[in-house]
Amino acid sequence: MRKLRVGDKACDFKLPGVDGKNHTLMGENNGSKAIVVVFACNHCPYSRAYEDRLVAIQKDYGPKGVRVIAINPNDSRAYPEDSFDSMKQRAAKRPFSYLYLRDELQMTARAFGAEYTPEVYLLDSTYTLRYNGRIDDSWQDPKAAKSHDLRRALDELLKGKEISTPLSHAIGCSVKWKF
């Protein structure tokens, strides 16, 4: 599987969301300056720990032209908690301010080269990958984070600067592939 690299353009996708609508990457742009694609899921403790931080990022950066999209690619036969119905139930209980989409066929995760949940892909307005990696360096305690990697990358991108650290190592559960 080839991994999307910084400087590569992401391909479009069409995936169902917990909001009952189908969404495409390019359809979600609507003049956005940046799109944060995060591969995440219901069952992974790392993904769950970052949910509130993703809500905060959408709240803080949405008015600046940033759109956050979470995509669950996991095999729901092996991990029933990651089924589309379970995603809808979780979203109904959580204040998600971002899109939560289902990649049942895992084609989008494969196209991006996703390895972990959560794993971030920060795209600019032309769908070019500018940052790939983690959200920050403290999945268990947001207050202990010293390196706010995604926020730093967003700030630099929105100021028209090169991303100073375009890659970091995502830490989380592995994507649960169908075999």
What secondary structure does DSSP assign to 11-59, as a single string?
PP-EEEBTTSSEEETGGGTTT-SEEEEEE--SS-HHHHHHHHHHHHHHH
Domain boundaries, given as residue ranges, for the chain: 17-174
Q: What is the mean pLDDT of residues 128-133?
A: 98
Q: How far apart are CA 118 and CA 139, in angstroms?
A: 10
Counting residues of the chain whose pLDDT is more than 70, the rounded percentage is: 99
Token readout for 167 is 């890659």
pLDDT score at 28:
72
This prediction's pTM: 0.96
**pLDDT band with cut points at 50, 70 and 90 for residue 1:** low
Which amino acid does the sequence have at 151? R
- What fold does the segment set 17-174 form as a domain? Glutaredoxin (3.40.30)
